[in-house]
A and B are shown apart, each in its own frame.
Chain A
Amino acid sequence: MSVAERIGAIRPDPSDQSPLRIDEALVRKMLVAFLREETKKSGHRRVVVAVSGGVDSAAVAALAAETFGPENVTALFLPYRTSDPASREHARLAAKTFGVALEEIDITPQVDAYLGRLGDVDRVRRGNKMARERKSIEYDRAWPDGLVLGTSNKTELLLGYGTRHGDMACDLNPVGDLYKTQLRELAVILGVPEVIVRKAPSADLWEGQTDEGELGFTYAQADLILYHLVDRRLRPSELIAAGFDAALVNNIREKVRRSHYKRVMPLIAKLSLRTVGHDFLYPRDWEAD
């Protein structure tokens, strides 16, 4: 079936996940080429990826190992004292599967050195601190010739389900245009072990946390709604008329709106004739002659 026939046949339908299907082999080829070329342009040959034990970072580690060779991938496992022991087991399994050496650095001392002085702290705030401590280590380990790879997927980016300058921070993100359910499918053909692909997604920032428990809906539900809202530009009212749950559609739409500040560069107050970010617009991939 041609693209025109396929796209023409797509209707918003809460029970039809098929629009999210991807050609995993094509996507794999495109992402390996993306990583290879975008690192080469900036003169880098080595990457750092934090492997959490989850499917997203396992898939990124697989893409990195395929692109650069396992010896050029610095894989870091960065647990806190409350991290689920299964996370360590799965991070090791992922690293072993793709032949990359996994280095473990416990972030407990540096997190507690700061938070210990503050007394009772909200768990989301604690989680944000952990995410930022992890990222500070990733950037340190990237010095002097490596780039930090991001592992935030499209669902997380659109919902704002991530920590600014924490897990959202990176130099290159190969998976940010794949919804969670699409990334899971890609992970399967990349060879990510079944036990990692099928487990409940979790940021593992506190005991018993799961993404879907915290969000209040499933990734399958969110991905399909986001696909129709974002990729196909349908209005919330059109999805509701097609049988999607009104409260859920409005909740997701509002999460996207509220979190948009997280997806753009910081605002700079416009004063002069030409201002970074406003009208000084050069491509990032500006090459030397």
Chain B
Amino acid sequence: MTVRIAIAQCAPALGAFKRNVAMHEEWIGRAQSARARLVVFPELSLTGYYLKDLAGDIACAADDERLGPIADASRRIDVCAGFVERAPDARLHIAQGYWSGGRLVHVHRKVYLPTYGIFDDGRYFGPGERFDVFESAIGPSGLAICEDLWHVSVPYTYAATGATVVLSPASSPGRGVAEGGDLGTAESCRLMDRFYAQYLTLYVLFANRVGHEDGIAFWGGSEVVAPDGTVVARAPEFEEHLLVAEIDPDLVARERDRNPLIRDERPDLVQSHLARRTGLVRRPDVAVERS
């Protein structure tokens, strides 16, 4: 049996929280009308992306009442949306929440905060430190916010710890129009989505935003890629779009029977090698190289 999901490829207003809550309610309604069980919004969908010093002004705690309308809406349909979290220790995080049954059931804090090229996340935000798998409407899932997905270890860690879905909300700016071809970022993202989906045998849901902030265009192109590498659905570039797709959780099992890469994976070896490399642990059962 398939589960219908939706991706809200929207254009959040920069620094206008209330307007964005209203925008979310509208898109949630549309996703409900399309009979979706889950609607995924892009990174920082409730705040906008290039916040700079606005980050502190617009931040809220994960249990803040300003997020109440999102929690309320999740009684009818699961909602995955982005906000700036003010942690109990006062640090600011780029956060993505997952609301279901009227409450916030999971929060992922962006771990990899890019500070190169047109990015400066690390100046304004603190990094997250966890990659926890949680149960979403379409199975065990992990959240990888934008740059998180560019780090191979992130989807790998999720796959190795039980996820069959990677949800990747993004605010990906379109760039690279020269070199004789189409948008460089779009090609890179599609390559990642398909590679991770096919070789980790899981679903990748890429939810990118559109619209402009300070002259930079977010390119959209949200997509759902199945564990066999098939692009199930893809939204147009640069336009707002509610992308609706059918997820078949059984396909994960079929694909993993055929191609048991995850079953045969050896995270214990990865762990022991990395532990040695980083000086964390030296396990006695790990062979020492001979000179």
Interface residues of A (CB under 8 A from B): 1-4, 6-7, 10, 18-23, 26-27, 29-30, 33-34, 37-38, 41, 172, 182, 227, 231, 280-289
Contact = CB atoms under 8 A, between A and B. Distances in A.
Contact of A283 (B11, B14, B17, B188): B14
B179 A21 contact: yes
A110 B93 CA distance: 55
B211 interface: yes
A153 B37 CA distance: 48
B211 A289 contact: no
B267 interface: no
Contacts of B19: 287, 289
Interface in B24-71: 48, 50-54
Nearest to A24: B177
A285 B14 contact: yes
Nearest to B11: A37
Contacts, number: 95
Interface stretch (B129-137, B213-221, B273-281): B213-221
A30 B174 contact: yes
30 contacts: A3-B176, A3-B179, A3-B182, A3-B184, A4-B187, A6-B179, A7-B179, A7-B184, A10-B179, A18-B180, A19-B180, A20-B178, A21-B178, A21-B179, A21-B180, A22-B177, A26-B182, A29-B238, A30-B217, A37-B11, A38-B212, A172-B215, A281-B53, A282-B52, A283-B51, A284-B214, A285-B213, A286-B54, A289-B15, A289-B17
B217 A231 contact: no
Given A26-B182, A280-B53, A283-B14, A38 B215 contact: yes
B14 A286 contact: yes
Nearest to A30: B217
Contact of B16 (A6, A19, A282, A287): A287
B16 A289 contact: yes
Contacts of A18: 180
Question: A2, A280, A286: which has the most chain B beta carbons within 10 Å?
Answer: A286
Given A6-B181, A7-B179, A23-B182, A283 B15 contact: yes
Interface string B238-279: 100000000000000000000000000000000000000000
A34 B53 contact: no
Question: A3, A10, A172: which has the most chain B beta carbons within 10 Å?
Answer: A3
Interface residues of B, number: 34
A93 to B, nearest CB: 28
A83 B184 CA distance: 42
A182 B238 contact: no
Contacts of B18: 289
B183 interface: yes
Contacts of B15: 283, 286-287, 289
B13 interface: yes
A39 to B, nearest CB: 10
Contacts of B213: 283, 285
Given A34-B212, A288-B16, A289-B18, A283 B50 contact: yes
Nearest to A20: B178
A3 B188 contact: yes
Given A21-B180, A27-B177, A286-B14, 17 more contacts: A3-B188, A4-B191, A6-B181, A19-B179, A20-B178, A23-B177, A30-B238, A33-B212, A33-B217, A37-B211, A280-B53, A283-B54, A285-B213, A287-B16, A288-B16, A289-B16, A289-B17
Interface string B164-183: 00000000001011111111
